[in-house]
Amino acid sequence: MSLHLLTSPFSPSVCPYVSFFLSVSAVTDRKENPVRAALPLGIIPAGSTDVVSCSVHGVRDPVTATLHIVLGHLQQVDMCSFLSNGQLVRFGFSAMFGFGGRSLARAEKKRWMSSSRRREYAVVKTLVRLRPEDCQLSFLPAKSSGSKESWVTNQGLYLSISIMSIPCLSPHAPQGLAPNTSLDNGSASLIAVGNASRSEFIKHLKRYSSSSGQFSFPFVETHSVSAVKIRPRSRIGWSEEETALPWNIDGELVEIANEVLIRWDWLVHPRLIALYGEEVHEAESTVTCSCI
């Protein structure tokens, strides 16, 4: 049995030097037509969120993760490729633009804090300075049986845009940040949160910790997609040093220079990788956030 074992510190406040992305890229190394990974990956949770580990184990427990590896439980998992200006940035499972990216950027500046304090500080600070991103959002709906889909384009202000090829379960969101997708259904979930008041946005965030209702707001839209393009527009009032836009990709901060046009493509690669674990529908919830 071939095994590639690594820790998975996926967290809104952890940016490891040797990331899961590097390990994944080593086994999916072709940009145009990535090759299905020959080696299954075993993920031992070691971060403060661990959305990938929770999505295949249900808990942030090293013993459970080890048992899945020992027993040989394999789960095929969809992945996506991220490209900017035609160049591959990385492979991954999830990306957050707007609130998720900005809160991570603030957390990374406070590495001297504990993980929980850093996370709460970043969330509160970003909520205080909440502002929408002006961008053009295009997506290709996931194909239904026998149909041929075309691109849908919207332009406007968004507080948050998330694209996820897995449910992204965590103790903070037991049913996942994207409960309407699965590990291997060949599509990704697009969650676009339009401009809204701070109080309404907080209500949206708090409902992730409950069973449902986070998408039942008029400013929130969800789509099952096979590709997404996000093109940020120039904003009046930005400071000179703000030359890059922060993205949260699998819990790691990625900053892209805000040039004339920034084009991100999200391409879903069905069952590109095998992880030790199994499909679960709800993660163990042992964490509460007192910051909102």
Best CA proximity match to 197, nearest among 258, 243, 130? 130
- H/E element holding 200? helix 198-206
Per the structure, the complete domain to which residue 120 belongs is given by 82-269
Residue 285 domain-assigned? Answer: no
Asked if 134 and 234 sit in the same domain, the reply is: yes
Give the pairing type, strands 94-98 and 244-249: antiparallel
Best CA proximity match to 178, nearest among 146, 224, 121, 109? 224
For the chain, the domain total comes to: 2
Asked if 53 and 127 sit in the same domain, the reply is: no
Q: Measured between alpha carbons, how far is residue 16 from residues 43, 45, 118, 192 in Å? A: 15, 13, 16, 28
Q: Per residue in 249-286, is it b (16+ CB within 10 Å) or e — as a string?
A: bbbbbbebebeeebebbbbbbebbbbbbbeebeebbee
Asked if 11 and 74 sit in the same domain, the reply is: yes
The three-class DSSP label of residue 148 is coil
What pLDDT shows up at residue 260?
28
Asked if 164 and 247 sit in the same domain, the reply is: yes
What pLDDT shows up at residue 104?
92
Asked if 46 and 109 sit in the same domain, the reply is: no
Asked if 58 and 171 sit in the same domain, the reply is: no
Run means of pLDDT, 10 residues per run, the chain, 292 residues: 36 38 50 70 73 79 84 84 79 89 91 83 92 90 74 93 88 84 85 95 88 86 90 58 77 68 50 72 56 52
Asked if 73 and 114 sit in the same domain, the reply is: no
Asked if 57 and 200 sit in the same domain, the reply is: no
Distance of CA 148 to the CA centre of its chain: 27
Residue 289 domain-assigned? Answer: no
Residue 17, Ramachandran bin (φ over 0: left; ψ between -120 and 50: alpha; else beta)? alpha
Residue 282 domain-assigned? Answer: no
Asked if 87 and 17 sit in the same domain, the reply is: no
For residues 211 and 266, what is the distance between their CA atoms, to the nearest angstrom? 28
CATH of the domain at 131: 2.60.200.40
Residue located via tokens 């527009």: 233
Asked if 72 and 90 sit in the same domain, the reply is: no
Best CA proximity match to 206, nearest among 197, 194, 214, 217? 214
Residue 245 domain-assigned? Answer: yes
Residue 286 domain-assigned? Answer: no
Asked if 162 and 45 sit in the same domain, the reply is: no
Asked if 43 and 98 sit in the same domain, the reply is: no
Query: Whole-model pTM?
Result: 0.80
What pLDDT shows up at residue 112?
84
